[in-house]
Amino acid sequence: MKINSFNDSHMHFLGIGYNTFIIDLSKSTSINKIIDELSSLTNNDKLIARGWNQSNLIENRYPTKQDLNKVSNNIPIILIRTCGHVLVCNEVMMELANINELTPQIEGGTFDYNTGIFTEKALNLIYKALPKPSKEEIKQYFIKANEILLRNGVTSIGSDDFSTLNVNYELILECLEELYEDNLIQVRLYEQVNLPNKEILLDFINKGYANKIYKGFKLGPLKLLADGSLGGRTAFLNNPYTDDPNNYGIKVFTQKELNELVYIADSNNMDVAIHAIGDGTIDMVIDAIWNAINKTNRNHHRHSIIHAQLATKAQIKRMRDLNIAAQVQPIFINSDMTIVKDRLGERSKESYLFNTMYKEGVHVSFGTDSPVESVNPFHNLYSAITRKSIKNPKLEVFLEEEKFSIKDALKCYTVNPYYLSYDENNYKEFKDYIILDRDIIKCTPKELLETKVLETYMNGKLVYKNKRLSKNR
């Protein structure tokens, strides 16, 4: 079957590649097994791993500093939660970062010296103590990610790459320029520029980078991380977590800070794409966008909220009325179905309302947030049309009325994302398409999960071929 190739509206292009060079803990089932696996690798100068989820661990808790100290008291160790909003490190890593019992907390994040657990903005206290990657290493991460995307039939992406590594954003741009110029990567990139404070945003604008177009990629909206994740209980809620009654999550920005950043972007003809999961943060983002466009009268904006998992029906109507788009990840249902009722109680019945958004007239685009979740588009489609968990297939359907038809899901995954990059009238000229091993319009959901990409084309030219399966066609 021939279809338009996929456009993943929000992911971490550089992060996908980087993750292939660190330890994968996504299949970990216990802290003891993590300790055993890491203990066999202590001949390295440091250990960095990602992918653990306490809900998948027998112990049903976060790993701690004490756990990692059992692995080594000589080399730094960092374990990043699957969401990327929480990490734990050992004593050596904290010493390297000059963190002790007297280190003050920072706004927009937390850390616990006793457990070694860090959240949100506090993660940077650890990351800035790591050696900076070389330019060649960064390029290798991008090249690897490009291969993975083409193999999965993804030819266009919206991506946040400035925040993945502790390097200056101009080094990332330099790497991208050279990679595209040398044709070492091909995926069409709309960069969601993560510039989390006023100083760096104004630096970016004053140097003429806003909306700049390069060969193969262009610079897009201001990306902000305004809260955390539901799984890590760092998404900011209007009411406390049902399973943690004293916790509302983490507000990364004050309303004043968010208003200022959104206004600076909007008044410089930049859109914003803001990570907001909790309903408390979604209110803040909608208010900040309303404040900006009310001052600038910029009616042609394409501002968006990334994730919008806990947007209520009332908030969805506000998004529609203000023309705020939604970049959503149906695949999140795969992981979150086991926790959403615990975290939210009765509020879970008004969460992940992606089809409601679509029907209400909000401009909805699909993404995966990879490497938080798999970049596999067929897993994402399955989650959208079944509202079931792939990991836990025996779980019941989560909000039946929120199922997408396969045709609407494909529209949100192949056509709609081009609106965000102002390419909705041009994408057909790209001549990007894929050949699949089955008809995904007619196949069963189970068959959809097993779908393979046989060939990927960009500009009508073959850029990926599944040699093993193509022989059997």
Q: Which residue has the tokens 């509206």?
A: 9
Residue 143 above 70 pLDDT?
Answer: yes
The pLDDT score that the predictor gives to residue 335 is 87
pLDDT > 80? residue 471 = no
Instruction: Judge whether 350 and 360 are in contact, CB under 8 Å.
Output: no
Domain 22-127 grouped into CATH 3.40.50.300: no
pLDDT tens digits, 287-337: 999 999 999 999 899 999 999 999 999 999 999 999 999 999 999 999 899
Number of residues in the chain = 473
- In angstroms, the CA 95 to CA 104 distance is 15
Residue pair 311/285 in contact (Cβ under 8 Å)? The answer is no
**pTM confidence score:** 0.95
Domain ranges of the chain: 2-14+134-436+442-449, 22-127
pLDDT for residue 473 is more than 80: no
Local structure of residue 397 (DSSP, 8 states): P
- Average model confidence (pLDDT) across the chain: 96
**Given this model, what pLDDT does residue 329 score?**
98
Q: Which residues pair with 24 in a beta bridge?
A: 50
Is the pLDDT at 192 greater than 60, yes or no? yes
Q: Is the pLDDT of residue 391 over 90?
A: no
- The CATH homologous superfamily for domain 2-14+134-436+442-449 is Metal-dependent hydrolases (3.20.20.140)
pLDDT-above-70 percentage for the chain? 99
Q: What are 97-132's pLDDT values in tens digits? A: 999 999 999 999 999 999 999 999 999 999 999 999
pLDDT at 119: 97
Cis peptide before 104 (omega within 30 of 0): no
Both tokens assigned to 321: 């009325």
Residue 272 phi/psi, 5-degree rounding, is -125, 145
